[in-house]
Amino acid sequence: MVRDVFVVDGKFAFDEPDDDPDTTFDDGYLLPGLVDAHAHLALFSPAPDDASPEERARASAQAQLDAGVLALREPGSPDNGSVALLDDPSLPRIQIAGRFLAPRGRHFPGLAREVPEDSLPDEALVELGTSGAWVKVIGDFFTSDGFTANWRPETLAEAARRVHEAGGRIAIHAILPDVIEAAIEANFDSIEHATVLRSDHIRAMKERNIAYVPTMIIADGADAMIASAGIPDAQARMVTEAFVRQGERVSEAVDAGVVTLAGTDAGMGPHGLIREEIARFLAAGVARDVALGAASWTARSFLGYPLIERARRRISSRSGKIRAKRSAPRTS
């Protein structure tokens, strides 16, 4: 689709303003900004280790912005340093999830707020009170004894029910198939990684409108970490095989209509690599516009942010014209 788009007082408009605007850009594409749907601003920050949590989160957010990311979701933090950034118009729009929630000893040391099983629903509401948006639950973890679920399915269901009742959304880190299944049954809003994802999960996620954030970019690092953890062979093989076939799962989920989003899991690695996750979508055989949408308009819609849309009110002064092919699929 090719059309003229006008900028009036910093907002998009589709009707030509009265004051004969200058053409500021011709024959390009308009994108509503890139989105990293999974980035931990506290971790792998460009700021020094002795910087404050806020400074570390700010430096990470700036690195994301420098890569073209105008919105991001932080599914879990060790320190809530990003809370201070929520209203900063010079940074990407940010949705946070408060602190990671895990049982004692069931996440990487020092990252999660450790809570007993029975108090997960209450503690999820505490994190929602901080984030105002999301809660993040660590659904499984591994030791040399193997990979196991962190919570009973009924605990996850109750946590999700309470978070939804309070108007929030809830995400889960899930590698194992039984944890993915429990999260689906519990109506979580997004499943992060979903490494050992099956076709029946994909169908159920579509039916329940649950988003899938595969974070393909970390597959090699995560696989190596699991391989070196000494977990039992059968489980190690299951997970390694799932990493090999991750692209097929992503392609299948996209074809099935699951909301599938690009997230880098920055924090495992550097911030600002969203382009590389888009490249993983392409390598998985996902169509180019869908791959870009997974890191832009699809993610913005999922997070409730506007696309390239008609401004609500129009004041005809200081306007400019952009002649561009609009790549977002919706006009309003």
Beta carbon nearer to Zn ion, 62 or 215: 215
Beta carbon nearer to Zn ion, 74 or 123: 74
Distance CA 16, CA 171 (A): 43
Beta carbon nearer to Zn ion, 38 or 300: 38
Distance CA 50, CA 227 (A): 32
Beta carbon nearer to Zn ion, 223 or 265: 265
Give the three-state DSSP class for 50.
coil
Beta carbon nearer to Zn ion, 138 or 322: 138
Question: Tokens 């990487």 sit at which residue?
Answer: 108
Beta carbon of residue 215, minimum distance to Zn ion (angstroms, whole number)? 7
Beta carbon nearer to Zn ion, 140 or 265: 265
Beta carbon of residue 136, minimum distance to Zn ion (angstroms, whole number)? 8
Beta carbon nearer to Zn ion, 109 or 167: 109
Beta carbon of residue 76, minimum distance to Zn ion (angstroms, whole number)? 6
Please choose, out of 92-100, 128-136, 179-187, 265-273, the segment that lies near Zn ion by the rule CB under 5 A: 265-273
- Please tell me whether residue 265 binds Zn ion under the rule CB under 5 A: yes
Please choose, out of 206-214, 263-271, 279-287, 310-318, the segment that lies near Zn ion by the rule CB under 5 A: 263-271
* Residues 34, 38, 44: CA angle, nearest 5 degrees: 100
Beta carbon of residue 192, minimum distance to Zn ion (angstroms, whole number)? 6
Please choose, out of 108-116, 175-183, 202-210, 261-269, the segment that lies near Zn ion by the rule CB under 5 A: 261-269
Comparing every residue's Cβ against Zn ion, the nearest one is 265
- Please tell me whether residue 277 binds Zn ion under the rule CB under 5 A: no
CA dihedral over 156, 191, 163, 181, signed as positive or negative: negative
Beta carbon of residue 285, minimum distance to Zn ion (angstroms, whole number)? 25
Beta carbon of residue 238, minimum distance to Zn ion (angstroms, whole number)? 21
Q: Is 118 exposed, middle or buried (0-12, 13-18, 19+ CB in 10 A)?
A: exposed
Q: Is 124 exposed, middle or buried (0-12, 13-18, 19+ CB in 10 A)?
A: buried
Please choose, out of 42-50, 102-110, 206-214, 260-268, the segment that lies near Zn ion by the rule CB under 5 A: 260-268
Distance CA 165, CA 11 (A): 35
Distance CA 250, CA 254 (A): 6
CB burial string 205-238: b at 16+ within 10 A, e below = beeeebbbbbbbbbbeebbeebeeeebeeebbeb
Query: Residue 146 CB: number of other CB atoms within 10 A?
Result: 14
Per rule CB under 5 A, count of chain residues that contact Zn ion: 1
Beta carbon of residue 280, minimum distance to Zn ion (angstroms, whole number)? 16
Pair 3, 327: CB distance under 8 Å: no
Beta carbon of residue 7, minimum distance to Zn ion (angstroms, whole number)? 36
Residues 150-189 that bind Zn ion (CB under 5 A): none
Give the three-state DSSP class for 74.
strand
Please choose, out of 54-62, 99-107, 264-272, 296-304, the segment that lies near Zn ion by the rule CB under 5 A: 264-272
Query: Which stretches of the chain bind Zn ion, using CB under 5 A?
Result: 265
